A = this chain, B = another copy of it.
Amino acid sequence: MASIIDVAKAAGVGKSTVSRYVSGKGYVSEENRARIEEAIRKLRYVPSTSGRSLRLQRSYAMAICVPMITHPFFSRFAESLQSELFRLAEEGDGRLNKVIIVAQDEQRKLKWLIERRLIDGAFLVTHEKFDFKEFGVPLVTVDRLMGREVPVVTSDNYEATLRALRYLYDKGRRSIGFIGGRPSQRSEVLRRYDAYCDFLEEKGLAPHLRYQDYRHGEEIEVAEGFLREEKGLDAVLATSDAFAFATYRAAFELGYGALDIISYDGCMDEWIQRPRFTSIVQDIDGMARAALSLLLKKICGESCPDSVVVPASFRKGETA
């Protein structure tokens, strides 16, 4: 495996010159550039991450924390991130070259990784309680508000929810329910709820809510309870795909009347192929890209905005 020294010899220059060339900082004459390039090609030289790591005290890895990787939103996010990072790395961006996905008991695992200096930064896509002050690496969150020092990436939850509600309203729906799991931490996701309340108040409609910190897996019971209590709804806005599907299923089992359902995310389409849900679709790729760009800047000590908002879109399906 060729090292920088082999390249230097082959090119007839010192190894610091090669280093300068490879890292792109410092001057290298045109002549030497060419010889180095050739040597690199000939020897198939690839800079050693461990050498760099040791010297620079960086791991070139980042972590992404999610509550569970089996959740379609989180797994799609992780996949996007991975792909984007790979794309950058392939293009020669040397700031980071691997991403470690951390699920379940994230706080402990993340701490473990940081203690061992195994990561240079992390994403938090999670609602677990986090004492972020303990962490010594740059952090970026998705949806989660943790204070000035931690930039946050969100989609335009408020606007997107409003759009969906307007759609239902324009269709003539006047008895619109809202169902979902309420985040226990300060989260941008709460803006969906704000939008619902504001909209209904503006239109002078009565709210029909089922919004608490439910455990995942129990959506069906929650939805059943909701529909059993709230007779005569003509539409329901769900804050997740799981709640939307549960509501759909509960309505079916209870023989509920015609009911428009709008889901959030629309990530489960490839699994639940029928019916096609009408959904508010977050731009997961865009969010991942934005988040990565923020984190890379933070890692390199550059300044970066406190927050980035990525637009969501509305996708009409068969359920509304």
Which A residues are within 8 Å of any B CB, using their own CB? 1, 46, 48-51, 53-54, 57, 59, 61, 68-70, 72, 75-76, 78-79, 82-83, 86, 89-90, 97-104, 109, 112-113, 115-118, 216-217, 219-220, 241-242, 245-246, 249, 253, 267-268, 270-274
Using Cβ atoms and an 8 Å threshold, which residues of chain B touch A51?
54
What would be 20 A-B contacts, judged by CB atoms less than 8 Å apart? A49-B116, A50-B50, A50-B53, A50-B57, A50-B117, A69-B69, A69-B78, A69-B82, A78-B101, A82-B103, A83-B103, A83-B104, A97-B116, A97-B118, A98-B98, A98-B118, A220-B273, A245-B272, A249-B273, A249-B274
Copies of this chain, whole number: 2
10 more A-B contacts (CB under 8 A) besides A46-B115, A79-B104?
A: A1-B117, A53-B53, A69-B69, A69-B76, A69-B82, A70-B75, A70-B267, A79-B103, A241-B271, A246-B273
The answer on a CB contact under 8 Å between A109 and B97 is no
The answer on a CB contact under 8 Å between B98 and A219 is no
The answer on a CB contact under 8 Å between B61 and A54 is no
Using Cβ atoms and an 8 Å threshold, which residues of chain B touch A86?
109, 112
The answer on a CB contact under 8 Å between A69 and B59 is no
Residue in B closest to A113 when the chains form the complex, CB atoms: B98
The answer on a CB contact under 8 Å between A118 and B49 is yes
Using Cβ atoms and an 8 Å threshold, which residues of chain B touch A117?
1, 46, 48-50
Distance to closest chain B CB from A103 (angstroms): 5
Using Cβ atoms and an 8 Å threshold, which residues of chain B touch A99?
100
Determine the distance from Cα of A202 to Cα of B70 in the docked complex, in whole angstroms: 39
